[in-house]
Amino acid sequence: MREIVLDTETTGFEFANGDRIVEIGCVELMNHVPTGRTYQVYVNPEREMSEGALGVTGLTNEFLADKPLFGDVVEDFLDFIGDAPFIIHNAAFDIGFLNMELTRLEREGFPMERAIDTVLIARRKFPGAPASLDALCKRFDVDLSKRGKHGALLDCELLAAVYLELIGGRQQGFSLARSTGTRIETRLREVRPPRPHAPTEEELAAHAEMIAGIKAALWTAE
């Protein structure tokens, strides 16, 4: 089963107010495990970064000025993701921004049903606990040392590890058989005949002598 872990970085937090995408990152999963195939691109948003977004991503207006527009990269992006479902942390945010960009190009957007939201999974699994990506990485001992700033591809790689833990880790369920149909062989142990354990005459006599030496035994009380 193919899935795409997806993340975006943006100029701000509200696409309805004109904020735009500045970075897209994707990590391909096959049977929930990263394949090594990734997609990452910076995008010129045609507007300035907000102070909040600059603080989170470190992406400056000068850095983004010579990057391609969303319309220039959309075909490569769509080719990479294909028809695979998305794994997204807070799916409404990223799907909302992607659909806004697609609408500007008069392209069809993505239905929310295509996305698996890891925030919702985490909240169901750990009610009342923090569900941020940082918090989940710490819960599952996923290395955060490289996350000085938010980056779409790095966040996808972290989320891929978190997603695997949220759905049960590398060995899901109780079956040890691989999906390739590998058969696990078991060897039957040789059944040995039972050994006789009946007491000998000498052992019975010794036992009776010991019992007779017990004073005021409960089983002899009248």
Q: Which positions ≥6 away from 193 have C-beta within 8 Å?
A: none
| H runs (alpha helix) in the chain | 51-57, 61-64, 70-81, 91-104, 118-125, 133-139, 152-166, 201-212
Q: Which positions ≥6 away from 174 have C-beta within 8 Å?
A: none
Check 89, 150, 197, 207 and give the catalytic one: 150
150 is catalytic: yes
Phi then psi for residue 25, to 5 deg, are -130, 145
CB 14 within 8 A of CB 100: no
Catalytic residues: 150
